[in-house]
Amino acid sequence: MNFKKQITMVKTFLLLGFLTLQTIAMAMPPKKLPEFNIIPLPVSVVKSAGTFKLTEKSTIYISGESAEIQQIGKYLADKLNPATGFAIAVKSSEGNQSAGNIYLSLSSDDATIGDEGYQLIVKQNIIKLTARKPAGLFNGIQTIRQLLPAKIEMSAPQAGPWVIPSVTIRDYPEYPFRAVMLDVARHFFQVDDVKRYIDLMAGYKMNVMHLHLSDDQGWRIEIKKWPKLTSIGGSSQVGGGKGGFYTQEQYADIVKYAAERYIMIIPEIDMPGHTNAALASYPELNCNDKATEIYTGTEVGFSTLCTGKELTYQFIADVFGELASLTPGPYLHIGGDESHVTKLEDYIPFVNRVQEIVAATGKQVIGWDEIALSSVKPKSFVQFWAKADNALKGVKQGAKVIMSPAAKAYLDMQYDKSSKLGLHWAGYIEVDTGYNWDPAKLVPGIGRENILGIEAPLWTETVTNMNELEYMVFPRLPGYAEIGWSAPAARSWNEYKLRLGKHGERFKALRINYYPSKLVPWSAPVSK
Ligand code: TNX
């Protein structure tokens, strides 16, 4: 036998051996089955002997009299009372701890857990949750919910018992920014829908909601100085429905509702492209002083603000001025994507000037990755969605990156070829594809230190109502939450999918319309 043949044979043997091992590995259950099914996976979970039982005699005790901690206690009581049928109350603790109760307190001992971390001790008939900041307590409460049986999420009384095994959990996030985006421009979503989405993301410890408030098909936020933006620009949507918009009061209500759940709202006004709704509302925003027609299709890249007109910048200053005063968070999103009909020599100075306008409101700029073609300020953030080269340009200028790679993190991408909703221009994103990536390893040159966090956007060209929204968002959202929260070295799809399978019961209890992916071993449904 000649040398080459020998090599080929050895290779074949190795390959066969490898395939056999792989088959065995796939058939065997993983060595360590998850005992708790917490998503996102906590930093450390140590089980001990004993259990805690929630009963009608249980009370939530808070240390001190702070109204904010009181509110967090009330949030927990509101999560526990409907399904248990109990009337668990929130009281100020008098020091001594007694059996059957839950204790929430702030303490600054453990600096490594940061502002969002918490420590949870469940032991024989007592629960102690401590954190350095209220946000940490709020996150710990999400863990308590997940330690209870799934039916705790139901809205009518269920049979107990309500038992949690003893456990000590220490937990804090990998990234400070764990976001979703909702496009309310292509299809409008009512305030109550947005609130439900906020509640669902809060359950997975996500902390930012980016609202895409304007696009070619609709302008969704009242601007007092430019009222036709909503009376005309807000009057339609994709497919020609009646659209809608948020009054400033409604928007403020969303911001407050989110803040009570430790979620920051980031408003986006997309420009200079994606602006047909504004251009249809005010003829003077067009270079030819003629208003465009309202647009109800799904093409992108055909509209632009008139970058040469001074009025355009007055308009932008007015819009961001009003938005800044409605927005307690530090960020305003200026869009900047797909401005295909804006010449690059106009686009660059435009984005530079808009950054100045935003800076004058006291806020920091976030823009889609194209904005890095201009001179991004070191305090601006570049949101990577399509072009790694753009994001790298941002990093070289000192900007941090928000990771939203379309092929991994777009909630509007179809799961597979059989999906009826969604698009697939960036590929199909099954639940494993959405989970199996590390933001710090995706683009050479963009490392952990360059990344603010991760965001999963839902564009709504094909998504028309809450039922459809939930189908695209679940079960992928818990995976994005885990990418943002849990250390990459601790994550693996084979283990994660078992925990996710258990969350099927929670989805059902919450009446979430989710995609029952065949890749996930869903556990038995909860009884109705
Ligand atoms: C690209 S992502 C867009 C959106 C579309 C989306 C559809 C981005 C910054 N721009 O205008 O809605 O694709 O997936």
Q: Which of 269, 274, 337, 368 to mutate to test the pocket of ligand 1 (most atoms within 8 A of CB)?
A: 337
From residue 436, how far is each of 174, 341, 476, 479, 491 by CA, in Å? 16, 36, 11, 9, 9
Residues serving a catalytic function are 338
DSSP state of 158: -
Q: How far is the CA of 339 from the centre of ligand 1 (A)?
A: 11
pLDDT value at residue 257: 98
Closest CA to 404 of 374, 368, 430, 350: 368
Contact 325, 255 (CB under 8 A): no
- Give, for ligand 1, the residue of 459, 460, 461 to mutate: max count of ligand atoms closer than 8 Å to Cβ: 459
Q: Which of 421, 420, 375 is nearest to 398 (CA)?
A: 375
Residues counted in the chain: 528
Q: How far apart are CA 338 and CA 316, in angstroms?
A: 19
Residue nearest to atom 10 of ligand 1 (CA): 337
Between the CA of 303 and the centroid of ligand 1 the distance, in Å, is: 14
**Cross-strand partners of 238:** none
- Asked whether 135 and 57 are in contact (CB, 8 A), the reply is no
CA of residue 396 to ligand 1 center, whole Å = 25
Nearest CA, atom 6, ligand 1: 459
**How far is the C-alpha of 332 from the C-alpha of 269, rounded, in Å?**
8
Smallest CA separation from ligand 1 atom 12, residue: 459
Quote the ligand 1 centre to 454 CA distance (angstroms). Answer: 17
| Cβ-Cβ contacts under 8 Å for 144 (sequence gap 6 or more) | 76, 102, 120, 127, 129, 164
Residue 65's pLDDT is what? 80
- CA distances to 89, 182, 311 from 275, in Å: 50, 17, 15
Give the number of C-alpha atoms closer than 13 A to the C-alpha of residue 52, restricted to the C-beta side.
Answer: 27
pLDDT of residue 34: 61
The SS3 assignment for 430 reads: coil
Q: Is 385 in the pocket of ligand 1 (CB under 6 A)?
A: yes
pLDDT value, residue 438: 98
Residue of minimum CA distance from atom 5 in ligand 1? 459
Q: Which two tokens stand for residue 259?
A: 């803040």
Q: Is 384 in the pocket of ligand 1 (CB under 6 A)?
A: no
> What pLDDT does residue 378 have?
80
Among candidate residues 404, 424, 402, 526, the one with its CA nearest the CA of residue 472:
424
pLDDT given at position 525: 56
As a whole number of angstroms, the distance between CA 505 and CA 39 comes to: 14
Q: N- to C-terminal Cα distance for the chain?
A: 69
The pLDDT, as a whole number, for residue 21 is 47
Atom of ligand 1 nearest to the CA of 337: 9
Alpha helices in 410-525 (DSSP H): 431-435, 466-473, 476-485, 493-509
CB 499 within 8 A of CB 399: no
- Residue 162 CA, ligand 1 centroid: distance in Å: 45
Q: Which atom of ligand 1 is nearest to the CA of 457?
A: 2
Which ligand 1 atom sits closest to the C-alpha of 423?
14
Q: Indicate whether residue 337 lines ligand 1 (CB < 6 A).
A: yes
Residue 102 CA, chain-centre distance (Å), reads 29
Task: Considering only CA atoms, give the Rg of the chain.
Answer: 25
Give pLDDT, residue 6.
Answer: 53
d(CA 103, CA 91): 10
Q: What tens digit of pLDDT does each residue of 328-372 get?
A: 999 999 999 999 999 999 999 999 999 999 999 999 999 999 999
Residues of the chain with pLDDT under 70: 1-34, 524-528
Separation between Cα atoms, residue 512 and residue 469, nearest integer Å? 10
175 lines ligand 1 (CB under 6 A): no
Q: Which of these, 517, 521, 523, lies nearest to 497 by C-alpha position? A: 521
- How is residue 16 written in tokens? 């066969």
Supply the pLDDT for residue 4: 47
Q: Is the dihedral of CA 281, 284, 287, 288 positive or negative?
A: positive
Q: Which atom of ligand 1 is nearest to the CA of 425?
A: 14
Residue 210's SS3 state is strand
Q: Does any ligand 1 atom lie closer than 6 A to the CB of residue 338?
A: yes
Q: Whose CA is nearest to atom 7 of ligand 1?
A: 459
**Which tokens in the block code for residue 302?**
């055909």
Backbone phi, then psi, for 52, in 5-degree steps? -110, 135
Distance 319 CA to ligand 1 centre (A): 22
Ligand 1 centroid to Cα of residue 460, in Å, is 9
Ligand 1 atom nearest the C-alpha of 183 is 12
Ligand 1 pocket check for 455: Cβ under 6 Å: no
Predicted confidence at residue 1, as pLDDT, reads: 47
Place of tokens 């024989």: 124
> Distance, CA 76 to ligand 1 centroid (Å)?
37
State if residue 459 touches ligand 1 by the CB under 6 angstroms criterion. Answer: yes
Of ligand 1's atoms, which has the minimum distance to the CA of residue 410? 14
- Rounded Cα distance, 352 and 444, in Å: 27
Say yes or no: CB of residue 407 within 6 Å of ligand 1.
no
Asked whether 241 and 316 are in contact (CB, 8 A), the reply is no
pLDDT at position 2, please?
A: 53
Residues 6+ apart with CB under 8 A from 211: 181, 182, 184, 194, 220, 254, 265, 266, 267, 268
Distance 459 CA to ligand 1 centre (A): 7
